[in-house]
Amino acid sequence: MKTRYNIQIISAIFMAKLILFGFLLTGCHNKGTDVKDSYLFKIGNRTVSVFEFNKALEIAKIAYPHNVIQDSETYSTIRLQLLNQMIEEVIFLAEAENLNIVVSDDDVKKAVEDIKSDYPDDEFDRTILENAVSYDTWEQRMKMRLIMETLVKTQLEDQIIITKEDVLKYYKENNPDRPLADESRDQRDSVNEMIVKRLKRQKAQEAYTPWIKDLKDRYRDKIKINEEKWKEIMESNGV
């Protein structure tokens, strides 16, 4: 059962997160409820309520046949993975806020325009509609992605030093029959810039796993889960 629905779970959680991030970025809560009674988890001054989790979960459930949701093991996996990924995303937001990382509306607008330019005619809007995601929700997700990318860039890529020796070694390994010295000056500059960017991305990817583990460890004591509410969620039958 786990193997069969693994891809479905990942896809459904992604759709659910699209809805959730609208709440996380705008700081919304379920109006008319007492936050102390309705919160599911807190990290610092950020709170995700039971209402917000359930809203995201309902979106996730759409991607599954009814009989799949009735399988207790699969349904528990969906809920637990969704909770863990929500917590991870809120940690990213909290760390970005702590480091004064801000993504402006103009930044989001430019990123959206860049993506739209890759789509012919009205294909972009049609794709959004086909995935049952509102434009505002998609835009919020884009803002979240930019915040995460900026955080990773400042904490990983920007900290990596690429030496001349690193560039030459990379070039020799990938172009053993064409010395870099044989290229024109403009070509060498272009190649150097490309290699530096590629090596930084590569080294950042290698450093990501230990970095995110350290980040989670630093926030572990700040995560407060409402165990009573979580138990109620896990014990529900999913109907």
Q: What is the pLDDT of residues 63-86, one digit of tens each?
A: 677 777 778 888 888 899 889 888
Q: Which residue has the higher pLDDT, 36 or 56?
A: 56
Domain boundaries, the chain: 155-217
pLDDT of 5:
45
The per-residue pLDDT for range 149-163, each reduced to its tens digit, is 899 999 999 999 999
Cβ neighbours for 90, distance < 8 A, ≥ 6 positions apart: 24, 41, 43, 46, 48
Spatial distance between the Cα atoms of 127 and 165, rounded to a whole number of angstroms: 46
Spatial distance between the Cα atoms of 53 and 23, rounded to a whole number of angstroms: 10
Dihedral in degrees, nearest 10, Cα atoms 83, 86, 88, 91: -130
Q: Rounded to the nearest 10 degrees, what angle do helices 50-62 and 6-26 cross at? A: 140
Instruction: Give the H/E segment covering residue 31.
Output: none
The residues that bridge with 48 in the sheet, in sequence order, are: 41
Q: Which two tokens stand for residue 29?
A: 């809560």
pLDDT of 222:
93
pTM to 2 decimals?
0.71
Number of neighbouring beta carbons within 10 Å of residue 53: 23
DSSP character for 161?
-
Q: Is the pLDDT of residue 15 over 70?
A: no
Range with the largest mean pLDDT of 30-39, 127-136, 162-171, 183-192: 162-171
Contact 74, 68 (CB under 8 A): yes
Q: Which two tokens stand for residue 201?
A: 């991305």
Q: Which pLDDT band holds residue 236 (cuts at 50, 70, 90)?
A: confident
pLDDT of 101:
92
State the chain's mean pLDDT as an integer.
79
Spatial distance between the Cα atoms of 151 and 93, rounded to a whole number of angstroms: 9
Single-letter amino acid code for the residue at 154: T
Q: Which residue has the higher pLDDT, 141 or 17?
A: 141
Spatial distance between the Cα atoms of 188 and 179, rounded to a whole number of angstroms: 10
pLDDT of 181:
66
In the chain, helix, strand, coil percent, each to 5?
Answer: 75, 5, 20
pLDDT of 226:
94
pLDDT of 203:
92
Percent of the chain with pLDDT over 70: 76
The region of weakest confidence among 19-28, 31-40, 134-143 is: 19-28
pLDDT of 174:
83
Q: Which residue has the tokens 């190649």?
A: 191
The per-residue pLDDT for range 82-110, each reduced to its tens digit, is 898 889 889 998 999 999 998 888 988 88
Closest CA to 77 of 59, 52, 60: 60
